[in-house]
Each structure stands twice: as structure tokens, then as C-alpha cells.
Amino acid sequence: MIGANPLQPLPIAHIFNTAKQLYVTSDYIYFPLLYDTEIDKEIEKVAHSGQSFQSSGSSESILIEIEGKIFVKGLSLKSLLDAYKNLAPESYEQQRLAILDEHSFLKNITEIPITNKLCTIIFEILPYFVSKPDRQIRKKHTREEVLELIIEQLNISELPSQQTRYSLNIEGLKEALFKLEKIKYQPGELPPGLISRNKFQAWFLESLKNKIIEDEKKRLQKIISRRQKFANTNEKLLTVLLLVAEKGSLEIDGFGFYATSLKGEFIIYKRTGAYALKDYYGRTYLFPDCRVAISTNGSLAPFVIENYKHPFLQKHAPGQKICMRNTVLPTVFNAKNVIFALQEGINALLYGYDYRRRNGYHSLDTIPLPGGSINFDDYMIPRDHPVLKNGLVQITNEFR
């Protein structure tokens, strides 16, 4: 029990099989070997090879014989504690939350969700794609101008916000760390020898509590360190970044991004706007707006978010990668590489289709291709269509 919260048995029985007893030394757990003729033969080999096979047991023994039963060396106690978070993440989190319930001052301590990737997207990539009314004078928005754009877009009224003030409360975090340093659970000594699985699990649980406390100390120290980096940050800037991080998405002038299910990762995109392409016979096809995107997690290969069709997309489906046959795409996330990848993806859709060569997976004029073709007849418009006559849409491959 921790406080008033009953804890479920640790799900480590699968590690111990159905063994009712274990053998422990100061460092290792030994598991009982069930009788099997093949195992018996292997034991004989070990016994005759001179390898470590003792009846008293030590951390050097591979096999130990106790009360006529053979035990084989398994996990080290330290490694089991260290690895439990990965071996049984749900159970670990359950134990962690129970400890947070007992020590309530830890419950609301969270990391500042502002990452280097988020700052790169906002202050280095966004200004490249978001145009300025006076762009002929200065091409890119300054940091202050970007903040004003976001404030207007998100309709932010309170600067700084209550969340900003909380994020700068470093002294409160140091006090919490001081309290945490005083918490110590007492699992007691684990005497070497035979022990029941239930008794071992009880000892392990108390030891795991101490491991969780140590993990929480490290987490809190990292949070304090990160917040100290923001201590001298302009409160207006910090408020805007916190609100964007909390919202998880932003779009300005056709450029945007949104958070994925992977912590700290984003999908970054730029809208193409409507555009038209010409086929071999001079007929015109009006393509709708779409979002050309890259993921910050992994390869910077551009893809189209929407359910979309195009000669450079293999299917009529969402999330398709754009055919980039002669382009070597970068793989490392930084502003320069993201800008390049997005531009290449957009350029491929708007300018890459050669109506003479009918390049791509499909042809606009539906010349049969191996594996079948996607039909674009529903995109066809007359050359005197209002969007073309009024200059609202350009035929982007006209001059190839």
C-alpha cells in the first residue's frame, strides 16, 4: 500500500515463469531449472567441463545446486530495477503515479514543452514561407514580427500569461527537489539464499519505489535546468511559445505545422494553392489546393497530406510521397533542409510534369501505363475559364 492507493502485484511473474522459489545472491537472481532430459545432459556437460557449478552459490556461479534442485544464473538485481521501466512500462507508470499521489507536491510539475525543433519551425522556417506586404524591402519577418503574427492569429490577449509566470517559478521547483531528497523507502536487506517469489516481489516493490524517487529527482533536476535557461527570456516571447506548444498547431498564410503522436515531433507543411497543368494536346486541368508536408521524425521526404491525385502520386489517397526521381533529399532536420525539401515537393507538383514526355506515374491525357492509370478528366477546364482569364490560377507547366 502507498497512502490510500492499493497497488496491483508486479507483472514480473512472466519473467520468473511458474517458479515458486528463487535463489538470490547479493547481486543476482537464479531461476530453477525444470527437469528435462536434454537440460540434464547439458548440466552433465557443465559439470564435466570444469565450468562454475557450485552448491553454495556466488555471483561467479553459472549453476547452483540447492536441496537437490538446480538453479541457473539469471538477471542482476540492479539491471532488473534499471530495466523495469522498459520491461513493464504500464506497471512502472502505475507505481510512479501512486508515489505522486502520496507526495502531491510532485503531481503538477511538468516540463516546459518548448523544444529546439519548435523554435526552429517558428523563427527560421515560418519567416521563409510567410510573405510580407513589403517583401521587396525585407524578405523575411523579424522575430518580433513573427510574434505579432502569432498573437494576431491565436487572438492572444494576456501577455504574459499565468502559465508563463508558473514556468518561471524556479524557486518552487528547488523547494520540491529539497523535499524529494528526503524521501527514502526501506526495502531492507535481501538475504542470500532461497526465497519465495511473493517475498521477492515485496522486496522488489520497495526497491522500485526508491528507483522511481531517483528517476523523479533526475526529472526535476532537468526541469529546473531547462527553466533556468528561460529565466531571462522575454515574457511575451515565452507566453507565445507556450501557447503554441500547448495548442500543438499553427497556420499562417498557408504555412503551418501540427504536433504528431510522437512527443516533440511535427508535420510541417505549405499549401500549394490552386494551380493548373497542361497536357500534350494543350488541354488544361485545374488542381485543387493541397498541403505539401514533411515529418520532423526521420527522412525529409515530401508528401501530400490530403486525399489527392497527381501524375507524381502513385495512387489517389492521403499521405502519399511525391515522386522525386532526380532529387537527393536531406535526412537531417534543420531549417535549411526543411525549406529545401518543402520547396522541392511543391515544385515537383507545380512544375515537374512535362506534357511532352508524360513523365510521372500517370499521364494527364490517360495514355495507358503499366499497372493502370488514374483519370484526370474531372479536373479538365476550358482555356477561357474565369480563374485562368482573371489570373487567379496559373498554368504552371506551360513553359516546359
Confidence of residue 316 (pLDDT cuts 50, 70, 90): very high
Predicted confidence at residue 376, as pLDDT, reads 93
Q: Given a cut of 60, is residue 176 above it in pLDDT?
A: yes
3-state secondary structure of 48: helix
Predicted confidence at residue 372, as pLDDT, reads 64
Q: Considering the chain, what is the average pLDDT of its residues?
A: 84
**HSE (CB half, 13 Å, CA atoms) of 188?**
9
Q: Given a cut of 60, is residue 2 above it in pLDDT?
A: no
Radius of gyration in angstroms for the set of CA atoms belonging to the chain, rounded to a whole number: 31
Confidence of residue 6 (pLDDT cuts 50, 70, 90): very low
Select from 109, 83, 100, 106 the least CA-distant residue to 208.
83
Confidence of residue 360 (pLDDT cuts 50, 70, 90): confident
What is the C-alpha separation between 195 and 32, in angstroms, rounded? 12
Confidence of residue 5 (pLDDT cuts 50, 70, 90): very low
Q: In the predicted model, what is the mean pLDDT of residues 217-240?
A: 88
Q: pTM for the complete prediction?
A: 0.75
C-alpha cell at 1: 500500500
What is the C-alpha separation between 290 and 131, in angstroms, rounded? 18
135-143 contact pairs (CB < 8 A, 24+): 143/237
Contacts of 358 (CB under 8 A, 6+ apart): 280, 311, 364, 365, 367
Q: In the predicted model, what is the mean pLDDT of residues 260-272?
A: 95
Bigger pLDDT: 270 or 371? Answer: 270
Predicted confidence at residue 134, as pLDDT, reads 62
Among 47-61, 181-195, 205-219, 351-365, the minimum mean pLDDT is found in 47-61
- Percent of the chain past pLDDT 70, that is, above it, reads 85
Q: Given a cut of 50, is residue 155 above it in pLDDT?
A: yes
Q: Given a cut of 50, is residue 7 above it in pLDDT?
A: no
pLDDT in tens, 79-120: 989 989 888 888 899 999 999 888 888 877 888 889 999 999
Confidence of residue 314 (pLDDT cuts 50, 70, 90): very high
Q: In the predicted model, what is the mean pLDDT of residues 259-271?
A: 95
Q: In the predicted model, what is the mean pLDDT of residues 46-65?
A: 59
pLDDT in tens, 184-200: 888 888 888 898 888 88
Residue corresponding to grid cell 520468473: 16
Confidence of residue 398 (pLDDT cuts 50, 70, 90): confident
Q: Given a cut of 60, is residue 78 above it in pLDDT?
A: yes
3-state secondary structure of 213: helix
Q: In the predicted model, what is the mean pLDDT of residues 295-303?
A: 93
The H or E element containing residue 152 is helix 143-154
Predicted confidence at residue 59, as pLDDT, reads 53
Provide the residue type at 20 as one letter. K
What are the extents of the domains in the chain?
21-102+182-218, 260-389
For strands 53-54 and 63-66, give the pairing.
parallel
57-61 contact pairs (CB < 8 A, 24+): 57/23, 57/25, 57/30, 57/192, 57/193, 58/25, 59/25, 59/26, 59/27, 59/28
